[in-house]
Every structure is written in structure tokens, then in C-alpha cells.
């Protein structure tokens, strides 16, 4: 079961780059790594997904080392609106028994 481990919380000042690392030592060959963002009383929102190396989109970058046992979500120049809980998931399809959200990382952006 490819569970994940993330820091419980992080604080950052506005305008800084934030890196959140996730450990997934038991990741399987077919598993992808997906990050979601969740605001209070809302459903999670997809941020980024990757399999290996580096993936970048308009909101974040995802760095995955060669052994794929960890991944780092990078948020450039965070703003107050980025205050949320960030979840790292591994799995080969949504809803499979190996898809595990965990408790996530609560990011607080400070003015």
C-alpha cells in the first residue's frame, strides 16, 4: 500500500517560494504522483501530476527524483490565497485501493 508522509504544517511569507516534500517509499511501478489543494469546506482541487523527473504547469512545479520514493511540490511566489491544505497522493488510477490522501500539509501564508 503506497501511503505517503508529508509535514503536518508549514508557514511562509508572501512572495516566497514554498517547497513541500512528500515521501512515498513503497511507490509501485505504475503509480503516478498527484497533488491536490483544498480550502476549508470545499472539495480538493487538482494541482499537478507526474511520473518522473520534473513537471511544470501554470501554478506549480513537481520534482521527482530517479528513485521516485519522494516528490516535491514547488509553489513559486505564494500569496495569501495559497493558504490551504496540500495533499500528495500516489496511485495508478483514482479510486483504486492504493489511493491514499493522508492528512496533508497545512500551508499558512503570512503577510
Q: Report the alpha-carbon distance of residue 57 to residue 48 in Å, rounded.
A: 7
Cβ pair 88, 24 in contact under 8 A: yes
Q: Between 46 and 111, whose beta carbon lies closer to another protein?
A: 46
When binding is defined by CB under 8 A, the residue of 29, 58, 81, 94 that contacts another protein is: 94
Phi-psi region of 29 (alpha: psi -120 to 50; beta: other; left: phi over 0): alpha
Q: Between residues 3 and 74, which has the closer beta carbon with respect to another protein?
A: 3
- Contact residues toward another protein (CB under 8 A) are 30-32, 34, 41-46, 49, 51, 85, 87, 91-97, 99-104
Amino acid at each position: 500500500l503506497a501511503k505517503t508522509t508529508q509535514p503536518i504544517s508549514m508557514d511562509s511569507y508572501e512572495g516566497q517560494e514554498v517547497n513541500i516534500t512528500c515521501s512515498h517509499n513503497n511507490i509501485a511501478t505504475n503509480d503516478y504522483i498527484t497533488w491536490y489543494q483544498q480550502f476549508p469546506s470545499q472539495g480538493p482541487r487538482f494541482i499537478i501530476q507526474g511520473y518522473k523527473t520534473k513537471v511544470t504547469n501554470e501554478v506549480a512545479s513537481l520534482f521527482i527524483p530517479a528513485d521516485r520514493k519522494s516528490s516535491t511540490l514547488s509553489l513559486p511566489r505564494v500569496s495569501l490565497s495559497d493558504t490551504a491544505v496540500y495533499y500528495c497522493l500516489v496511485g495508478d488510477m483514482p479510486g483504486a485501493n492504493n489511493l491514499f490522501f493522508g492528512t496533508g500539509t497545512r500551508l499558512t501564508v503570512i503577510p
